[in-house]
Amino acid sequence: MGFIPVVPPHPNRAEPWRLKKAWYRRRNEIERLFRRLKGFRRIFSRFDKPDLVFVAFI
């Protein structure tokens, strides 16, 4: 399909691909960014929480 793998190949793979460490490092940064954004979603979606709980979280 034209995708370029960015994760390291399994050691037992018959035809391992070449790992580009800079791309792998960049992918990790992007995944950490999305994980942080998901954590912040907790602050913005506080429809059922009392104000006191919200202030305590911040």
- Residue 47 falls inside a structural domain: yes
What's the pLDDT tens digit per position in 9-40? 888 989 888 888 898 899 899 999 988 888 77
Task: Give the pLDDT of residue 49.
Answer: 62
- Residue 1 falls inside a structural domain: no
- Residue 39 falls inside a structural domain: yes
Find the domain containing 52 and state its range: 21-57
Task: Give the pLDDT of residue 29.
Answer: 93
Q: Considering the entire predicted model, what is its pTM?
A: 0.53
Q: What average pLDDT does this structure show over 33-50?
A: 73
Tokens of 39: 């954590």
Tokens of 54: 């919200």
Number of folded domains that form the chain: 1
- Residue 52 falls inside a structural domain: yes
Q: If you write DSSP's letter for every residue of 5-32 in order, what string do you get?
A: --SPPPTT-SSPPPP-HHHHHHHHHHHH
- Residue 32 falls inside a structural domain: yes
Q: What average pLDDT does this structure show over 32-55?
A: 73
